Amino acid sequence: MPSAPTPFPEPVYVARPLLPPLEEFVRELGDIWSAAWLTNNGAKHVALEQALSDHLRAPHLSLFNNGTIALIVACRALRLAGEVITTPFTFPATPHVLSWNNITPVFADIDPVSMTIDPAKIEPLITARTTAILGVHVYGIPCQVDAIRTIADYYGLRVIYDGAHAFGTELDGQPITAFGDVTMLSFHATKLFHTAEGGALVVRDARLKHQIDLLKNFGIRNEEEVVLPGINGKMTELQAAMGLAVLRHIDTERDARASIAKLYRERLPAINGITCADTPASVRNSYQYFVIRVQEGRARKGRDQLHDEMKRFNIFTRKYFYPLCSTYSCYSELPSAAPMRLPNAHRVAAQVLALPIFGALGQDGADRVCDAIDFVMGSA
Ligand code: T4K
C-alpha cells in the first residue's frame, strides 16, 4: 500500500479570500481618511459601482452591504407575494429571503446534471398565488434561462436569479446578469470578487435600479421625503475600497483557479466513483467552486467518509449544499418539501463535495489535494 501523503502544515479550506497587496488597500483608505466620508454613497461607492458595471457589462447595478439583503430588496422591488418557486439545493439565504418577505417558498426538484432548478418541474407547481421563479446559478452553472423565461412569460411571473456564485459567468458570450428581471451577486469574503461582506443587484432598466436604490436607503428621496418603507442595505466606503483593490487582481486569480480546476479535472476522474461537476462549453466559468460528486456504490468510500478522512491531511472540504433547504425544520412541513417530490436534489446533495480552489493553493497544493483524495479513496 502506498504511504500516506504528508498533511498540509496549515489548514486548507475550500476558500481563501483574495487579499490585494496591503499598500494598495491602504492607499484606498487614505482617500477615505482625507474625505472623512465613510458610507452613504461616497466616492468609493460611486467608483466601484461604475467599475463593476463596466467589468460585468451590467449597466444597471446597485451595490449592497451583502447579498442576502440585496435579494430581500429584490423581492420587495418586484412586489412579490404569495408563493415563489425555487430550488432546495442552495445556501439557506435563498429560501430565507422569501420568508423575510412573507412569501412561501415552493421547492421544485433539480436537474440531475446541471444541479439547477429543473424547468419541467416548475410548471406543475404554479398556482394562482405564484408570483415568481427564483433560480440559483449554483456553483456558477447557469440555470436553463430560456426555458424558465418561456414559463414565466406564459404565466406572467417574474424571474429572479440568485447569482451569488456567478460573478463573471457568461452564457453564449452574454453576461449571466442579462437574464431574468433581477440577478443578485454576492461579494462575501469567500467569493472570487469580494468586498469582505457585500453584494449587488443587477436589473434591466434604470427605473428599477432607481427604485432599488431608494429601498436600500430607507426609502429616502430627499431630506424632506420618504417615499417607500425601505431598509438599510448600503455598502460602506471601506467595503467599496476593498472591492476596488480586489478588482485589479481578479483576472490573475481567475487564471490561477482555472489552472487548478484543469489539474483537478485531469486527475480526479481517474479515481473510481468520482466525477467532476462541469460547466457546459457555452459557459464562461466563474471558478467560484470546484465540486466533485462521489457515487456511492462505485466509489470505495462515500462522500461523508471522504470529507471526514481529508481532515487528517489538514484539508477541510465542504458539503455544499447538504442538507437541502427543504429539510430544515422551518420548511420541512411544506407540501413541496416532501423528499419523494425532490429525488434528484436528495441524490445530488448526498454526493457533492466542494474542494479547495483559490489562487494561493497553487498547482502543487492542488496536486497534494488530489494525492490525499487518491489515498483516502484507494485505502481500505
Ligand atoms: N445565495 C447563495 C447561493 C449563496 O451561496 C450565498 C452565500 C448567499 C445567497 C448569501 O450571500 P451573502 O449574504 O453571504 O453575500 C459561506 C459564505 O459566508 C456565504 O457567503 C456563501 N454563500 C457560502 C456558500 O459560503 P459558510 O457558512 O460556509 O462560511 P464559512 O465561514 O464556513 O467559510 C467557508 C470557508 O471559507 C471556511 O472553511 C474558511 C474559509 N474562510 C472564510 C472566511 C469568512 C476564510 O478562509 N476566510 C474568511 O474570511 O458560508
> Could you tell me the distance, in angstroms and rounded to a whole number, from the CA of residue 151 to the centre of ligand 1?
32
Per-residue pLDDT, 1: 62
Minimal-distance CA residue to ligand 1 atom 22? 91
pTM: 0.97
* Residue 190 near ligand 1, beta carbon < 6 Å: yes
Which ligand 1 atom sits closest to the C-alpha of 320?
A: 24
Task: Name the DSSP letter for residue 336.
Answer: G
Q: Residue 16: CB within 6 Å of ligand 1?
A: yes
Nearest CA to ligand 1 atom 47: 16
* 13 Cβ below 6 A of ligand 1: yes
Q: Where are the alpha helices (DSSP H) in the chain?
A: 22-35, 43-56, 67-77, 93-100, 119-122, 145-155, 206-215, 237-247, 250-267, 303-310, 343-349, 362-378
Residues 6+ apart with CB under 8 A from 308: none
Q: Which residues contact 208 (CB under 8 A, 6 or more apart)?
A: 60, 77, 181, 182
* Rounded distance from Cα 188 to ligand 1 centre (Å): 7
CB-based contacts of 287, cutoff 8 Å, min separation 6: 140, 192, 254, 257, 258, 261, 357
User: Domains, the chain, ranges and CATH?
Assistant: 22-247 (3.40.640.10), 250-378 (3.90.1150.10)
Q: Which three three-digit cell numbers place residue 337?
A: 418539501
Q: How far is the CA of 190 from the centre of ligand 1 (A)?
A: 5
Q: Is the CB of 183 under 6 A from ligand 1?
A: no
d(CA 50, CA 60) in angstroms, rounded, equals: 10
239 lines ligand 1 (CB under 6 A): no
Q: Are 352 and 320 in contact (CB under 8 A)?
A: yes
Tens place of pLDDT per residue across the chain (380 aa): 678 999 999 999 999 999 999 999 999 999 999 999 999 999 999 999 999 999 999 999 999 999 999 999 999 999 999 999 999 999 999 999 999 999 999 999 999 999 999 999 999 999 999 999 999 999 999 999 999 999 999 999 999 999 999 999 999 999 999 999 999 999 999 999 999 999 999 999 999 999 999 999 999 999 999 999 999 999 999 999 999 999 999 999 999 999 999 999 999 999 989 999 988 999 999 999 999 999 977 778 999 999 999 999 999 999 999 999 999 999 999 999 999 999 999 999 999 999 999 999 999 999 999 999 999 998 64
Q: Name the strand (E) or helix (H) holding 355.
A: strand 352-355
Helix (H, G, I), strand (E, B) or coil at 238: helix
Length of the chain: 380
| pLDDT given at position 279 | 86
pLDDT of residue 299: 76
Our answer on whether the CB atom of 362 is closer than 6 Å to any ligand 1 atom is no
pLDDT digits (tens, 9 = 90+) for 294-338: 997 777 899 999 999 999 999 999 999 999 999 999 999 999 999
pLDDT at res. 296: 79
**Ligand 1 close to Cβ of residue 91 (< 6 A):** yes
Tell me how far the alpha carbon of residue 377 lies from the centroid of ligand 1, in angstroms.
Answer: 27
pLDDT in tens, 186-210: 999 999 999 999 999 999 999 999 9
pLDDT of residue 81: 98
Cell for 64? 449592497
Q: How far is the CA of 287 from the centre of ligand 1 (A)?
A: 15
Q: How many CB atoms lie within 10 A of CB 380?
A: 5
**Which protein residue's CA is at the shortest distance from atom 35 of ligand 1?**
15
